[in-house]
Amino acid sequence: MCGCRSCLKSNQQRTHESPCRKHLGELSLMRGQFRQAVSDFEQALQTEPKSATARSGLGASLLALGHYQQAIRELEEALRIDPAYVNARLNLARALGAKGDLAGATAELETVLKQKPNNAEAQSGLGFVYFTQRRYDQALLHYQEAARLRPEDADVQTYLGTLLAMQGDFSGAIKAFEESLKLNPNNDVVRGYLARARAALAPKR
């Protein structure tokens, strides 16, 4: 985080010429203030049009607002500036997936894994794409890897449990659902999945 004075000013003290507009955009994005983030990043790009960081931040903000086509355009531009920008590529995959371009999303996620084989987000992203396409064996492989890399992700544990249950591995499914509930105890949907997996293992009378 930038430590200069402009970045420490309140929103009322923001100025168009601020050299820290990009950092203010990052702060707005982290706070969930997506419209403000769009404004910040657009102003940053007026003075730094070749900033991959600002371009990617703008794309991420537009993605959060549901403006998928605009997000794709900005994220593709960020990657033209810096092809190795992993976060931009992950967000591009999300935007493409949201638009229904699963082939495009898959290609971007596979590119990330070529750069960073241990990227948990790319692993879970591919798992979700394959799950959506009903390619369950491939989805399971990626969710298993994502769970290894990021065991603290409740959603990953839930998808892993679901896929294991679909394959008849109810013991594995129970373990994954229990882990998911440790991370998110108030998820009644997962609690129902766990109950069904336990029932499937119960002795038949």
pLDDT tens per residue, range 4-56: 545 444 444 444 444 588 889 999 999 999 999 999 999 999 999 999 999 99
Give the span between the Cα atoms of 3 and 35, in whole angstroms. Answer: 23
Reported pTM: 0.82
Higher pLDDT residue, 112 or 10? 112
pLDDT tens per residue, range 58-84: 999 999 999 999 999 999 999 999 999
Q: What is 130-154 written as a DSSP string?
A: HHHTT-HHHHHHHHHHHHHH-TT-H
Give the span between the Cα atoms of 54 and 41, in whole angstroms. Answer: 5
Give the span between the Cα atoms of 61 and 88, in whole angstroms. Answer: 12
Which of 27, 64, 65, 25 shows the shortest CA–CA distance to 45? 25
Give the span between the Cα atoms of 88 and 54, in whole angstroms. Answer: 10
Residue 203: DSSP 8-state? P
Q: In order of start, what are the domains of the chain with their CATH numbers?
A: 1-83 (1.25.40.10), 138-205 (1.25.40.10)
Length of the chain in residues, anyone? 205
